[in-house]
Amino acid sequence: MFPLLSKESNVFIAEDLKKDIEYFISGFPHDKVFLLSDETAYEMCYPKIKEVVGLSPERTVIIPSGDHNKGVETLAKVWHLLSHGGADRKSLLITLGGGMPCDLGGFAASTFKRGIQFINIPTTLLAQVDASIGGKTGINFEGFKNEVGVFNQATAVLIETSFLDTLDKENIVSGFAEMIKHAFIYSADRWDQLKDFDIFNPDYSQLKELVADSIRIKDHFVQNDPLENHIRKALNFGHTFGHAFESLAMHENRAVLHGYAVAFGMICELYLSHIRLGFPMPQVMSIANQLESIFGHFEFTKDHFDELYRLMTHDKKNDSNRINFTLLEEIGKIQINCQASKDEIFDSLHFYCNIK
């Protein structure tokens, strides 16, 4: 039997992906099993599962790739397939792809006929360590990241690390950012492990172990706070600034991958941690330089500050119209629900602009 990696999030490490999928869909009539994939994953990854008994092109929807397509129009395509394909409340939707189809597919399944079961088969590093796990589903709306969604755990998440061989370097690096985030909120030892790993020339056997460790870290926070009322908010480190960068880039037609935006956001939030909680400045500079060496630099100027601040005001973590952050006293020592003044947020943006 394939090993259970996360009980709370139903995460399994695939041992024989074809047989493992067939096991999970064996309780459903074949004409009630549907597949959602994006164009890239369908081309690169679907051949590995196309012979699974129960899958059919007639019950498959292929959506455009890219986070800018994670909206209502694409969601409606999935609902259309389910509705016109004869899906009922005992149907199953399988999502094959990265974070975008996992988010959108989970939301489509959670809302169709008030909810059907779904299975995530994440094919990118980012999706395997983050997006497919923990029960967050959703879509972008009106230019804001993940503005509409629900919490709903997948019936299963099947991790097949051989899919990582299909990724380009940029997508591997993007996923690595979420692994780094897990290290920062968990322990200095974990960060020491990751900072010495060559993500540009990865040892895939070692990466498989690091992926499993990263999933366990995320599950630690999910188990203790499934609906993100308290400690699970630690997982948002880097995301308040990061989502604003991501939205700005989308508005300016220079989209950045989610992991890169989170890496840029972590630098800003480390500096804000220095201002608010005394995180050591030499360590801020050391980490900022290391993250820059991996993820590069996001270009913006002082003229963007007000727009970035406005985007942050739409963050879902906000409370009583105050922007909320997860910050660090030190690596592994987190403070959730931290607030900062507009001037402090602008100071952090100014610091980021000048670290090159």
**Residue of 132, 116, 91 whose CA lies nearest to 9:** 132
Note the pLDDT tens digit of each residue in 115-156: 999 999 999 999 999 999 999 999 999 988 889 999 999 999
Q: If pLDDT is split at 50, 70 and 90, which confidence band does 7 have?
A: low
Percent of the chain exceeding pLDDT 90 equals: 87
Residue 335, SS3 per DSSP: strand
305: pLDDT strictly greater than 60: yes
| pLDDT band at residue 108 under the 50/70/90 scheme | very high
0.85 exceeded by the pTM?
Answer: yes
pLDDT of residue 2: 57
Secondary structure in 3-state letters for 223-274: HHCCCCCCHHHHHHCCHHHHHHHHHHHHHCCCCCCHHHHHHHHHHHHHHHHH
Question: Over the stretch 36-64, which tens digit does the pLDDT of each residue have?
Answer: 999 999 999 999 999 999 999 999 999 99
Q: Is 124 exposed, middle or buried (0-12, 13-18, 19+ CB in 10 A)?
A: buried
Q: Strands 117-122, 324-330: parallel, antiparallel or unpaired by DSSP? A: unpaired
How far apart (Å, rounded) are the C-alpha atoms in residues 217 and 230?
A: 16
The secondary structure of residue 3, as a DSSP letter, is: P
Cα–Cα dist 49/163, whole Å: 11
pLDDT digits (tens, 9 = 90+) for 186-195: 999 999 999 9
Q: What pLDDT score does 57 carry?
A: 95
- In whole angstroms, how large is the CA radius of gyration of the chain? 20
Strand bridging mode 117-122 / 156-159: parallel
What is the C-alpha separation between 148 and 142, in angstroms, rounded? 10
Count CB atoms within 10 A of the CB of residue 276: 20
Instruction: Please give the average per-residue pLDDT across 163-169, as a whole number.
Output: 93
253-301 residue pLDDT tens? 999 999 999 999 999 999 999 999 999 999 999 999 999 999 999 999 9
- Give the per-residue pLDDT at 4: 65
All domains of the chain in start order, with CATH: 4-166 (3.40.50.1970), 170-353 (1.20.1090.10)
For 311-326, write each residue's pLDDT tens digit: 999 877 777 678 999 9
Rounded to whole angstroms, the Cα distance separating 184 from 288 reads: 13
**Burial class of residue 260 in the structure, from the number of CB atoms within 10 Å of its CB (0-12 exposed, 13-18 middle, 19+ buried):** buried
Which H/E stretch holds residue 97?
strand 92-97
